[in-house]
Amino acid sequence: MVRILIIDDDPQILGMLGQILEREGHEVVEAPNGKVGLKLYRENPTDLIITDLIMPEKEGIETIMELRRDFPDVKIIAISGGGRIEAEEYLFMAQKLGVQRTFTKPIARAELLKAVRELLN
């Protein structure tokens, strides 16, 4: 079974993404911010990480940088609804850090599942 870590401070997004992925047969691990997400990943690595970019405690960009440094082969999807700047600008930064896919919120179910399938094959 494929394990996917979702890192997002919005409980509704966590619930929605978790439900979509669990219906596809994946095991989902949830974290409310990058600090908790990194701790969970270090304790029990997952096959894929989906992370928001704007969060309290530890933002997604910091989380991605740390993951890339310590686990260069980890597969990451970055998501953002924007913040002080447009979502596309945050996602562009994430791409420069080596994430495999980026999405603006709200995420289309079909697009998300297609990206997950491509990254896990």
97 is in which domain, residue-wise? 3-120
Q: Domain holding 68: CATH number?
A: 3.40.50.2300
pLDDT at 107: 94
pLDDT at 109: 96
When divided into structural domains, the chain yields a total of: 1
Q: What is the mean pLDDT of residues 72-101?
A: 92
pLDDT at 86: 86
CB atoms closer than 10 angstroms to residue 92: 13
Q: Is the pLDDT at 106 greater than 80, yes or no?
A: yes
Supply the pTM of this predicted model.
Answer: 0.96
pLDDT at 112: 97
Q: Is the pLDDT at 83 greater than 80, yes or no?
A: no
Q: Is the pLDDT at 82 greater than 90, yes or no?
A: no
- At residue 57, what is the residue type? E
Q: Is the pLDDT at 66 greater than 90, yes or no?
A: yes
Q: What is the mean pLDDT of the chain?
A: 95
Q: Yes or no: say if 6 and 116 are a contact pair by the CB < 8 Å rule.
A: no
* Residues 6+ away with beta carbon under 8 Å from 62: 34
pLDDT at 87: 86
